[in-house]
Structure 1
Amino acid sequence: MKPEAVLIAGPTASGKSAVALALAERTGGVVINADSMQVYGDLRIITARPTEAEEARVPHCLYGHVDADTDYSAGRWLDDALATLADARAQGRLPIFIGGTGLYFRVLTQGLAAVPPIPEEVRAALRAEAEGLSDAALHQCLVARDADGAARLAPADRQRVLRALEVVESTGRPLAAWQQAQGPAPLAPERCARVVLEVEREVLRARIDARFEAMMAAGALDEVAALAARHLPAARPILKAHGVPALTRYLVGEMSREAAIAEGQADTRRYAKRQVTWFRHQMKDWPRTHPEGALETLTAALSGA
């Protein structure tokens, strides 16, 4: 049976965008973003979103459609992705999902827990309280309310710790209890052409470092300065985008430009390592390929070869 969608995952700087663009041009497809930072409109350069020229070559969806002052979740992404998927099917276009956020691929192919909406007053109260707490202190709050859930989250994973606190505070049940009642999967994995791009570690590290330098030359610092001028609440996810914390510190005189670039590169390398670990453990059954062979591999899968 011909695949009904293409799913391209891989760590940052692995060449996913080039593969997706070439495949969309070859098939008349639409590129759909599955990266949690590239949804934000404020940061095109430093999140490595496709350029305007690339977006003009084929349809691109779910890039830059969310304001920075938004707590965008996997659930909201899935809602947006389902609407985009329906549009692609109506137009007879091949949907090509591409990104490095493993959780987005999981909810797309495994379904999402039916957690009730969090009342805005609960969300606002918890996030206001969290503003004055360190990562470790906030994590201890979760330990007191949901010890099992806290054990599965690193203290530095502030956004997910907050999400777990919101769920238990609002519903009286830990997040894991809701996750056991998983909803239906929007896309059956076996009916998709799936691939995880793999790049040798040292090659990937070099790509990340070179790309960060290119981002700086392209205006990443101006982008971060404009974001900082908005004075967003510290808990907003976009403020954790790789390179943003270090460049923000440079802008206020807390570190040198060279140190900020080095920290931004190191932060991105650490993130890539976490992505690779996720793909290895959570997406074991996905085929692997080098970026150079991905286009032909996916084309063959689409043709049934």
Structure 2
Amino acid sequence: MDATLTDDQGRKGADPHAVLIAGPTASGKSALALRLAERTNGVILNADSMQVYAELRLVSARPSAEDEARAEHRLYGVLPAATPFSTGDWLKLVAREISAVRAEGRLPILVGGTGLYFKALTEGLAVLPEIQETVRSACRVLADEQGVDGVRAALAPLDPQAAATLVDLQRLTRALEVVQSTGRTLADWHRETQSPPLLAAQSCVLRVLAPPRPWLHERIAQRADLMLGEEGIAEVEALLAKGLPWSLPAMRAIGVKEIAALLAGEIDRPEAHRRLVVATRRYAKRQETWFRNQMADWPRVDPTDEAALADALRVGR
């Protein structure tokens, strides 16, 4: 494996077990991972909860076919949108891939914006209780009808910590299910049932991309333009044709609801663009809050600073 772990002063040590690259949506994570994979003969492993779905290449900003040809990518587009997929499910898949990549003498490079995946990977995952079906149904209806804001409002008086830190509708709903069904918060369950981590943080290279806000907003607007192109609209149209329930994680990807409204004639193209930009900015802000609160000790990298990027890529002999 042509990679060595470096400390903040640039001193080289043992081979890293993996490189973990997190960051908000549209921050350039995939591009950085691709450059690193090309330098080190590494394998890029998906750590994004939406990029696992086969039907969501453009909507989820999955790496292009051209990028996939430049370096090996795994766990991208491997599931149909009809499949519910949890953090525990991802851990099982990624554990197998990390072992396989290291057995090949290559470097695993995990990249994505799902902070909980990285936290579970390096700190362990709690085994949560069975949820009463009546509670689950009520929480799912609330999520479908009122979205993130409605679930967060219901959760706040019961579990203020989760309401303040969770950024994803699926995970907010899960937190609400747990506290309503058991009377105990997610944090309580985590403390008592935490499993061992798959990777020790000190044996990995950890990076969080932290771009300037104006630069990120410009890239988000460009992504909205791409989603509203022919390919993005066709992708959502094909997904909607499957008649899947809106409660599925894939149906809650940013872009699906907005383009569905455009296709139904409920809004025009400028309004669809505005909604996409607003939703993506809000999501990026929630991601940044998660990284700041839950991954505070991970080194930050400004993707607009070429010297900083070069330093982040310094994982080789």
Find the aligned partners of 1:53 and 1:162 in 2 and give their Cα distance: 36
1:84 aligns with 2:102: no
Find the aligned partners of 2:184 and 2:285 in 1 and give their Cα distance: 32
Call closer, same or farther: CA 1:138–1:277 in 2, change over 3 Å. closer
Say whether the 8 Å CA contact 2:302–2:309 is kept in structure 1.
Answer: no
Q: Which residue is equivalent to 2:163?
A: 153
Q: Which residue is equivalent to 1:300?
A: 314
Find the aligned partners of 2:167 and 2:40 in 1 and give their Cα distance: 41
Call closer, same or farther: CA 1:139–1:285 in 2, change over 3 Å. closer
Call closer, same or farther: CA 1:128–1:17 in 2, change over 3 Å. same
Superposition deviation, residue 126 in structure 1: 4.8
Which structure 2 residues correspond to residues 52-71 of structure 1 after superposition, within 5 A? 52-71=65-84
1:225 aligns with 2:237: yes
1:44 aligns with 2:54: no
Find the aligned partners of 2:90 and 2:260 in 1 and give their Cα distance: 27
1:272 aligns with 2:284: yes
Aligned residue pair count = 296
Q: Which residue is equivalent to 1:177?
A: 188
Superposition deviation, residue 295 in structure 1: 4.7
Q: Which residue is equivalent to 2:225?
A: 213
Call closer, same or farther: CA 1:141–1:273 in 2, change over 3 Å. closer
Say whether the 8 Å CA contact 1:139–1:150 is kept in structure 2.
Answer: no
Find the aligned partners of 1:213 and 1:3 in 2 and give their Cα distance: 38
Call closer, same or farther: CA 1:229–1:110 in 2, change over 3 Å. same
Say whether the 8 Å CA contact 1:153–1:160 is kept in structure 2.
Answer: no
Superposition deviation, residue 25 in structure 1: 1.1
Which residue type is aligned with residue 175 of structure 1?
L
Find the aligned partners of 2:299 and 2:64 in 1 and give their Cα distance: 28
Range with greater deviation from structure 2 (175-184 or 148-157): 148-157
1:108 aligns with 2:118: no
Find the aligned partners of 2:208 and 2:47 in 1 and give their Cα distance: 13
> The residue matched to 2:242 in structure 1 has which SS?
coil
Say whether the 8 Å CA contact 1:243–1:261 is kept in structure 2.
Answer: no
Superposition deviation, residue 156 in structure 1: 9.2
Superposition deviation, residue 31 in structure 1: 0.2
Find the aligned partners of 1:113 and 1:131 in 2 and give their Cα distance: 22
Which residue type is aligned with residue 310 of structure 2?
E
Superposition deviation, residue 71 in structure 1: 2.2
Which residue type is aligned with residue 223 of structure 1?
E
> The residue matched to 1:3 in structure 2 has which SS?
coil
Q: Which residue is equivalent to 1:73?
A: 86
Call closer, same or farther: CA 1:85–1:34 in 2, change over 3 Å. same
> The residue matched to 1:8 in structure 2 has which SS?
strand
The Cα offsets for residues 235-284 of structure 1, whole Å up to 9 and x where unpaired, read as 11222211221111111111112211221111111111111222222211
Say whether the 8 Å CA contact 1:32–1:95 is kept in structure 2.
Answer: yes
Find the aligned partners of 1:208 and 1:158 in 2 and give their Cα distance: 20
The Cα offsets for residues 152-201 of structure 1, whole Å up to 9 and x where unpaired, read as 32799542343235546777754333200321111111111111112111
Find the aligned partners of 1:151 and 1:13 in 2 and give their Cα distance: 27
Say whether the 8 Å CA contact 1:9–1:196 is kept in structure 2.
Answer: yes
Find the aligned partners of 1:79 and 1:293 in 2 and give their Cα distance: 36
Say whether the 8 Å CA contact 2:40–2:316 is kept in structure 1.
Answer: no
Structure 1 unaligned residues grouped into runs of 5+: none
Which structure 2 residues correspond to residues 184-195 of structure 1 after superposition, within 5 A? 184-195=196-207
Say whether the 8 Å CA contact 2:136–2:177 is kept in structure 1.
Answer: no
TM-score by length of structure 2 reads 0.84
Superposition deviation, residue 150 in structure 1: 6.2
Say whether the 8 Å CA contact 1:23–1:295 is kept in structure 2.
Answer: no
Q: Which residue is equivalent to 1:201?
A: 213
Say whether the 8 Å CA contact 1:8–1:98 is kept in structure 2.
Answer: yes
Call closer, same or farther: CA 1:190–1:218 in 2, change over 3 Å. farther
Find the aligned partners of 2:158 and 2:296 in 1 and give their Cα distance: 25
TM-score by length of structure 1 reads 0.87
Say whether the 8 Å CA contact 2:18–2:205 is kept in structure 1.
Answer: yes
Find the aligned partners of 2:210 and 2:68 in 1 and give their Cα distance: 25
